[in-house]
Amino acid sequence: MEFRTLKANEIECRIATVKSNGISLLLYKDARCDMNILDETVGKLNWKREHSRDNANCTVSIWDDDKGIWVSKEDTGTESFTEKQKGLASDSFKRACFNWGIGRELYTAPFIWIPSDKCEISAKQNGNGSTCYDRFRVSYVGYDKERNIDALKIENEKTGKVVFSLGRNAGNYNPANQEESLKNYVTESQVKTLEICIPKHKQTIANVCRVYNVSGLRELTVEQFKKLMRNMGEE
């Protein structure tokens, strides 16, 4: 089973270090993103999470239709300073989802340095070091065939300006082009139709995704949807 790569609006930016001449950013995903992708790919009733050791450990299990068993992957969370407010439960869950491959492409992110002329850096009140309260968002992300990040665009939410750009595709990014490309993929209504029709014809969504080489029904094109409906006699 292969989960799709993260979309730009599913990737969060966090300030890692602050210096007088600039800041570095880290890319991460939150637990809600993991839950949405699990729901989307395997179905809301086909996965579960269990915590142990006072939430330090999390086991994420996915139902295997072919074998008729739950397949599980586990990991341990840490209560680091930056993640403390989210708790061990959230951190261990996200790490277990990394083991399933959800968001693993974030490990290929480049070093992201934002110079001081593109963000607002001020001295800490105690005079010991610098701080930055700006917020940043990923406006575009692209991947190569090995699912490595090869294009990235990050904007300062306060100014709306691009502060980091990687790859030719990021430089040429146009939201209108992305909107146009989305028209080639199935709509939510078509996804719901498939979710009803596939089980009715004694097929599984997992098998259909394998046949069409996609990680979820939402990655099917309109043409693939029409072909699938014809094959099921649902025209």
Q: Per-residue confidence of the chain (235 residues) as pLDDT tens digits? A: 889 999 999 999 999 999 999 999 999 999 999 999 999 999 999 999 999 988 889 999 999 999 999 999 999 987 654 445 457 889 999 999 999 999 999 999 999 999 999 999 999 888 788 999 999 999 999 999 999 999 999 999 999 999 999 986 555 444 444 444 444 677 778 888 898 999 998 889 888 888 887 767 877 888 888 899 989 888 6
Dist CA 125 CA 134 (whole Å): 17
- Paired with 220 in beta bridges are none
Cα torsion 141, 36, 58, 71: sign: negative
CA distances from 222 to 85, 191, 204 (A): 42, 10, 19
C-alpha closest to that of 155 among 112, 189, 198, 187: 112
SS (H, E, C) 170-207: HHCCCHHHHHHHHCCECCHHHHHHHHHHHHHCCCCHHH
Q: Are the C-beta atoms of 169 and 178 separated by less than 8 Å?
A: no
Using a 10 angstrom Cβ sphere, with 0-12 exposed, 13-18 middle and 19 or more buried, the burial of residue 42 is: buried
Q: Are 40 and 57 in contact (CB under 8 A)?
A: no
